[in-house]
């Protein structure tokens, strides 16, 4: 199958990955209402087509936190991404470096911070959750700084893990230890390409950054048990003081979906936010990010960098998010599908597709730079 879009890579990933890994990437929480809204609401954003505007010279670059990037796009943090291809986070980081965009490493990655740093010369971002063990958090931030990470993405919408039915059905989470292991092994056996590339040659299969606290227990069940026990439901805005005391670089708060929370992020000195509902993987039934973005932009635009994710599957979607007021966009599933299908080459290709799609969307809306992609290119609803 020739991949011409991120959706094509989704199908390739479905064919290659064991079910428990594909469903982990692809699924959302509960009935996946918000997951569907992310896609549907963003797809309904209509753009004004303009003609005869001289779009022969397009500039897609943007500046984020003092660094110039080739595109207003970053690779979002994806948990367990390193299990989708051999040492997957290393491959994704190299593709991001090639395309001149930031890569964000998840706390719960297969590859450690240090392993990813050894694979790329480009500084990357590090994502962190609020964990009960503040000493462990302090150590992670120190390791990220030592490895040259230039921004911290602090995820705040996961004080408790969401309930994801697909993960229970696939045997990834919730099944008793032996039963879950047998189900996953059978699913892996049905995907011999993955089993050879990742299952056999992609070791170690530990969660690299979390492995020290898991000690000798490093199976998937142990990881999910550790998450449930160690994510901190007592987290509050006061805890940003702790983060700021340990991290002196750009601080990005990920998981903002309400204008009042965006205001709090500004007041407490965040450098950026990510308008996000965790890809529809946490509280099902909340608004899509496309709908949540506008009031947040109206509230805090100009006072910090506003990024967004959720439902972005193409360069056209990136332009839509920018027109709604985002300064940049994080893509998640789009790069995870591509990584699972074809490794580094897949991630590089999907980023090239996004760039090409952005160029078409910009040319046909009469914009020649990222700064020109504003609400002026949106079709306004007619009054009732």
CA distances from 199 to 15, 117, 178, 298 (A): 16, 23, 18, 48
Give the pLDDT confidence score for residue 138 in this predicted structure.
Answer: 94
Residue 30: the pLDDT is 95
Residues designated catalytic: 278
Mind listing the pLDDT tens digit for each residue in 90-131? Answer: 999 999 999 999 999 999 899 999 999 999 999 999 999 988
pTM of the model: 0.94
pLDDT digits (tens, 9 = 90+) for 247-281: 999 999 999 999 999 999 999 999 999 999 999 99
State yes or no: pLDDT of 47 exceeds 90. yes
Q: How many angstroms separate the CA atoms of 166 and 301, rounded?
A: 37
C-alpha dist (Å) from residue 73 to 112, 173, 195, 321, 354: 23, 31, 32, 11, 9
Q: How does pLDDT run across 281-310, given as a tens digit for each residue? A: 999 999 999 999 999 999 999 999 999 999
Structure confidence at residue 140 (pLDDT): 95
Residue 2 has pLDDT above 60, yes or no: yes
Kindly state the average pLDDT of the residues 314-335.
98
Cα 267 to Cα 264: distance, rounded to the nearest angstrom: 5
**HSE of 43, CA atoms in CB hemisphere, 13 A:** 8
pLDDT band for position 232 (cuts 50, 70, 90): confident
- The pLDDT-based confidence of 204 (bands split at 50, 70, 90) is confident
pLDDT tens digit sequence for 329-364 = 999 999 999 999 999 999 999 999 999 999 999 999
Query: 287: which 2 tokens?
Result: 């608004």
Helix H or strand E encompassing 6: helix 6-16
Q: What is the pLDDT of residue 178?
A: 62
CA-wise closest residue to 90 among 124, 121, 127, 119: 119
The region that residue 94 occupies, defined by phi over 0 for left and psi between -120 and 50 for alpha, beta otherwise, is alpha
Neighbours of 343 (CB within 10 A): 22
Q: Tell me the three state secondary structure of residue 324.
A: coil
How far, in Å, CA of 329 to CA of 324, rounded? 11
For the chain, the structural domain boundaries read: 6-365
Q: Does domain 6-365 have CATH number 3.20.20.70?
A: yes
Rg of the chain taking only CA atoms, in angstroms: 20
Query: 305: closest CA among 264, 243, 250, 235?
Result: 250
Biggest CA–CA distance in the chain, Å, is 65
- CA distances for 203 relative to 84, 171, 200, 260, 297, angstroms: 12, 21, 7, 44, 44
């Amino acid at each position: 199958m020739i991949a011409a879009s991120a959706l094509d890579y989704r199908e390739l990933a479905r064919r290659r990955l064991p079910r428990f890994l594909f469903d982990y990437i692809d699924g959302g929480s509960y009935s996946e209402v918000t997951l569907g809204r992310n896609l549907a609401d963003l797809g309904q954003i209509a753009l004004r087509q303009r003609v005869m505007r001289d779009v022969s010279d397009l500039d897609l670059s943007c500046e984020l936190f003092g660094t110039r990037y080739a595109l207003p796009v970053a690779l979002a943090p994806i948990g367990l991404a390193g299990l989708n291809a051999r040492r997957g986070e290393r491959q994704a980081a190299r593709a991001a470096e090639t395309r001149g965009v930031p890569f964000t490493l998840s706390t719960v990655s297969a590859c450690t911070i240090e392993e990813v740093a050894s694979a790329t010369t480009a500084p990357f971002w590090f994502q962190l959750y609020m964990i009960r063990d503040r000493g462990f958090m302090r150590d992670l931030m120190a390791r990220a700084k030592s490895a040259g990470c230039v921004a911290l993405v602090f995820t705040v919408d996961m004080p408790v893990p969401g309930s994801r039915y697909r993960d229970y059905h696939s045997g990834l989470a919730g099944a008793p230890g032996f039963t879950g292991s047998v189900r996953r092994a059978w699913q892996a056996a049905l995907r011999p390409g993955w089993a050879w590339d990742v299952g056999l040659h992609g070791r170690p299969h530990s969660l690299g950054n979390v492995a020290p606290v898991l000690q000798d227990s490093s199976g998937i069940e142990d990881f999910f048990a550790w998450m449930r026990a160690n994510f901190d439901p007592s987290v509050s805005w006061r805890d940003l003081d702790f983060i700021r005391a340990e991290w002196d670089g750009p601080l990005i708060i990920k998981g903002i979906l309400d204008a009042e929370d965006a205001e709090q992020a500004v007041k407490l000195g965040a450098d950026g936010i990510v308008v996000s509902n965790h890809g529809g993987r946490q509280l099902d039934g909340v608004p899509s990010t496309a709908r949540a973005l506008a009031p947040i932009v109206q509230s805090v635009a100009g006072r910090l960098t506003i990024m967004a994710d959720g439902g972005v599957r193409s360069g056209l979607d990136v332009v839509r998010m920018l027109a709604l007021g985002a300064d940049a966009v994080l893509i998640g599933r789009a790069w995870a599908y591509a990584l699972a299908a074809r490794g580094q080459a897949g991630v590089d290709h999907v980023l090239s597709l996004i760039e090409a799609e952005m160029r078409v969307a910009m040319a046909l809306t009469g914009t020649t730079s990222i700064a020109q992609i504003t609400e002026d290119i949106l079709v306004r609803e007619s009054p009732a």
